[in-house]
Chain A
Amino acid sequence: GNSVTQMEGPVTLSEEAFLTINCTYTATGYPSLFWYVQYPGEGLQLLLKATKADDKGSNKGFEATYRKETTSFHLEKGSVQVSDSAVYFCALSDSRQTGANNLFFGTGTRLTVIP
């Protein structure tokens, strides 16, 4: 079946520190992979995506590379800001294999950045 395993939090970093949030997945086919971010009191927002192996998704200084050999999609940012404090969710969609386009989410990682 499809599942996502995400690094447990919470994660607390100082401003300008390097961020890595680990994500590994299990899928029956060749899924698309996503990172979503949830700011306090707001809905989930798509942060970045990758649809095939070796693709790199990037947005707002965040990056993640689709690694088929390690079934991973780790999120990284070189220098975090206080405004990056949020909950981050790794997710996959296996629509090309199953025909269904629902998302499977990890449990989320809460990031707090302190000045």
Chain B
Amino acid sequence: DAGVTQSPTHLIKTRGQQVTLRCSPKSGHDTVSWYQQALGQGPQFIFQYYEEEERQRGNFPDRFSGHQFPNYSSELNVNALLLGDSALYLCASSVRKGTAITSNEKLFFGSGTQLSVL
């Protein structure tokens, strides 16, 4: 049973460019959350997707957008890249049952995509 998979593992971009990161959730999971982890910091919540819609959002600008597909996989898009966007981007998946809030105890993280903006 594959866990959460993210691609690519590493990426180098220049300022002003756009980037797309991808995530496949753990089998059986339907909810995907994205986190940004700057060097030496803890992960910060970007947003969460369920049923192909953004359900929650952290304190990130509109340059950060996402998408969820019918197979539950997800993309994170960042436009107009800044040097400060350099970070490890983590995807986490979980199960949301009906209208119940997903239990964080069952949150599974991928290994992340390391984005470097030059």
Contacts and interface: CB of A to CB of B under 8 A. Distances in A.
B102 A101 contact: yes
B111 A102 contact: no
Interface string B31-63: 001010000111111001000000010100000
Given A45-B109, A108-B42, A103 B56 contact: no
B104 A44 contact: no
A95 B106 CA distance: 14
Nearest to A106: B42
Contact of A103 (B3, B41, B104): B104
Given A43-B110, A43-B112, A107 B41 contact: yes
Interface residues of B, number: 26
B2 interface: no
Contacts of B103: 101
A43 B37 CA distance: 11
Interface string A2-19: 001010000000000000
A105 interface: yes
Interface string B84-118: 00000010100000000111110111111000000
26 contacts: A6-B42, A32-B104, A34-B105, A44-B90, A44-B109, A45-B109, A46-B105, A46-B107, A89-B42, A95-B101, A101-B48, A101-B56, A101-B101, A101-B102, A101-B104, A102-B33, A102-B48, A102-B58, A103-B104, A103-B107, A105-B43, A105-B44, A107-B42, A108-B40, A108-B41, A108-B42
